Amino acid sequence: MLFMIVSQHTAESCPMVNMVSKEKLITSGQRQNDVAKALGVNILGSWVDMPAHLIFMLVDAPKTELLGKMAMELHLVDWNISITHPVVTMQDALAQLQPKKLTVL
């Protein structure tokens, strides 16, 4: 299942200016693929909106509980508040708009 994780931090806790957060981000960045793989999570991409202090991460995971474990293991919760959104591709959403055919038994 696809999930978009949106994380936000304050200007004061931003890794660009906060050395504690910076070190944690560097360490988590070095470990994130190994931690994700061990949990069965596939990181499909990540993006940062630096002026808004937002981080977006698209992942494929069998269940949301694993995402919380990943965030804890990587210490991302130390300076971010994250919201996890289950998402589908636009193609899949459009396919659901098609009329359903009834099967006659």
Q: Is 14:80 a contact under the CB 8 Å cutoff?
A: no
Digit-coded pLDDT (tens) for 55-96: 999 999 999 999 999 999 999 999 999 999 999 999 999 998
Residue pair 42/59 in contact (Cβ under 8 Å)? The answer is yes
CA distance 42 to 6: 16
Q: 3-class secondary structure for 48-74?
A: EECCCCEEEEEEECCCCHHHHHHHHHC
In this predicted structure, what is the pLDDT of residue 88?
A: 96
Write down the pTM of the prediction.
Answer: 0.86
What is the residue whose two structure tokens read 């061990």?
38
* pLDDT of amino acid 20: 96
Axis-axis angle for helices 65-73, 19-39 (nearest 10): 140
**pLDDT of amino acid 102:** 66
Domains of the chain as residue ranges with CATH: 2-95 (3.30.70.1060)
Residue position matching structure tokens 């002026």: 51
